[in-house]
Structure 1
C-alpha cells in the first residue's frame, strides 16, 4: 500500500510540475530541457503550430530522451536533436513537406503486410518530416495512435508532431547501425545522427554541391544550438 501511495504521490507531483514549469517536470525525470526563452531564441521565425508546450510535453513522454549519461551528454543530445529538426522543418516553418509534387510518392507495398490507407498520403510532416506509410504505421503503434489511417494528425496536433520526431530520434536507425539517440550516447558524433535520419540521400555522396549544402546547413544549425546550450560539439560533424 505504501509503495502504491508513493507512486501516486509522485505522479501528482510530476503533473503539478508539468503545469507549473515544463523544465522542472523534465528535470524531475532526469531529463534536460531547454527553457522556453532559449526555444524562442533558437526558432524566432517558427510558425505557431510548433509550440514549446507541445515540445515539452512530448519530451516528458519520451523519458529516454536527453536523460542518460552526464549533464554534458544530455545537453549534447538536445543540441543535436534541435540542430537536425531545424534543417528538417526549415527552422520549424514547415508543417507539411513543401514539395507537393512528392506528396503521392511515399506509399511502399513491397513487404508482407505493407499497404496504404485509401485516400491517404504519407509525405513529410512534423519537425523531422516523418515520411512513408510504414513509418506512420510504426510511429502510430508506438504512440497508441492510428497514424496509418490518419497521417495528417501529425500536421494537426503539435504534441503528436513532436512525439513522432522524438520516436524516430530515439528508436529508428534508418540505414545507420543505430538510432540518433543511441549514436549520441555512444559518442559517435553529430554526423551519425544525420546518417540515421537521411543517410541514403546525404551521406557517402562525395562532393556533390547540393548534398554538401544540406550537410553544412545541418551542421550550422547544430553549432547554433550547441552554442545556445553552452555545450561542446560532439564530433565528427560529418556523416
Structure 2
C-alpha cells in the first residue's frame, strides 16, 4: 500500500515539474510600440518589456544549479536549514526580470549577472571556513540573520523619517543583509512591506529576503549614481572623474556600489577576495567559466575610489554570522 501511494506521489510530482517547466519555456508574446519590440513571457516576465523578449532566468538557471551553488545550506550545522530555496529566488526575481535583472542582453550576460548577484549573496551568508566539508565556498545561504547582534542598530538621526520601533532590533537579516532602521525603512517602502515595525519579516520569508536583495542590486544607493545592475551589465558609462578614480564597469564596481570603502580602495583585501572567489566559483558551476570574469581591474575594486564613503550600510561588511 505504501508503494502504491509513493508511485502516485511521484507521478503527481513529475506532472507538476513538467507543467512548471512548460510554463517557464513558453514563447513570448510580442508587440511593437513606437518602433520598439516589447514582449511578455508568462508569470516570470509578465510586464510588457524589451527585456522579456530575452531568455528568462529559469531558462538558463534551474533548480539543480541552485542546489550546486548552495550545496551545504541545509546541512545539519547550517543556521538557516530549510529556509532558502530555488522557488523563492525565482519568485523574487520575477518581480525584476522585466526591468532587466538576468534578462539584459543575451543568455551569457544573464548568466553572468545571476552569478554576480548570487556571488554577493553567497559570500554574505556563508558559514564556510578553510577546512569546511566541500570547501569554504560551498556554504553560501547558511545564514538568514545575524546570530549574535551586539546592538540594536537604531540611528536616532532618522527619528523623523524612519523612527525606531521600541524594542525592535535592526540587526543584519536577509540575502544581502540589511542593517539599521533607515535601511529597513527605505527597503520596506520600496517593497510595500512594513519592515520598520517588523524587520523580522525578512528572516521569516525567503522570497521577501531575496526580493529585498534584488531591489538593492537594481536600485542606486544615491541619486546620480548607477546601480550594481547598471555597472555590471554595461548600462553605465563612466565619467572622467570615474576614470580618474579607476572605477570601471564590471564586478568590481558592484562591490563599490554595495560596500564602498568597507571593501574597495584597500588593495586585495581578504574581504574583497572572498566576495570575488564566490563569484568565480559560481561562474564555474554555472558553466560560464571564471575566465569570463575579466581582468583584475574589472573583477576587483582593489584600486577603485568609493562612489561614496560609508560607515554601516544596508549591506554591511560585517557578516550576517557575526
Which TM bucket (shorter chain)? 0.7 to 0.9
Q: Give how far 1:115 is off.
A: 1.9
CA RMSD of aligned residues (A): 2.6
**2:282 paired with 1:225:** yes
Do 1:176 and 1:199's aligned partners in 2 also have CA atoms closer than 8 Å?
no
Q: Give how far 1:215 is off.
A: 0.9
Q: Give how far 1:206 is off.
A: 4.1
- Counting matched residue pairs gives 218
Do 1:139 and 1:164's aligned partners in 2 also have CA atoms closer than 8 Å?
yes
Q: Do the aligned partners of residues 117 and 97 (structure 1) sit closer, same or farther apart at CA in structure 2, a change above 3 Å counting?
A: same
Q: Do the aligned partners of residues 176 and 220 (structure 1) sit closer, same or farther apart at CA in structure 2, a change above 3 Å counting?
A: farther
Structure with the bigger RCO (C-alpha within 8 Å, sep 6+) is: 1
Query: How do residues 102-141 of structure 1 correspond to structure 2 at under 5 angstroms?
Result: 103-104=151-152, 106-111=153-158, 113-141=161-189
Higher CA-based Rg:
2
The unaligned stretches of length 5 or more in structure 2 are 1-15, 26-42, 47-51, 74-80, 127-139, 236-248, 302-322
Q: What secondary structure is seen at the aligned counterpart in 2 of 1:45?
A: coil
Q: What secondary structure is seen at the aligned counterpart in 1 of 2:187?
A: helix
Q: Give how far 1:120 is off.
A: 1.2
- Residue number in structure 2 paired with 1:56: 90
**2:89 paired with 1:35:** no
Q: 1:201 aligns with which of 262, 280, 291?
A: 262
Partners of 1:57 and 1:41 in 2: CA distance: 19
Structure 1, 189-198 or 226-235: larger mean CA deviation: 226-235
Query: How do residues 157-196 of structure 1 correspond to structure 2 at under 5 angstroms?
Result: 157-173=205-221, 177-186=225-234, 188-196=249-257
Partners of 1:181 and 1:70 in 2: CA distance: 15
Q: Do the aligned partners of residues 194 and 122 (structure 1) sit closer, same or farther apart at CA in structure 2, a change above 3 Å counting?
A: same
Q: Which has the higher helix share?
A: 1
Partners of 2:148 and 2:17 in 1: CA distance: 40
TM-score, with structure 1 as normaliser: 0.82
Partners of 1:128 and 1:98 in 2: CA distance: 15
Q: Which has the higher strand share?
A: 2
TM-score, with structure 2 as normaliser: 0.62
Partners of 1:58 and 1:73 in 2: CA distance: 19
Partners of 2:279 and 2:83 in 1: CA distance: 22
Do 1:123 and 1:131's aligned partners in 2 also have CA atoms closer than 8 Å?
yes
**1:175-217 superposed Cα distances (whole Å, 9 cap, x missing partner):** 993211111122711111111221131112346xxxx111111
**1:38-58 superposed Cα distances (whole Å, 9 cap, x missing partner):** 000010111310111111100
Deviation >3 Å, runs of 4+: 16-19, 21-30, 172-177
**2:237 paired with 1:237:** no
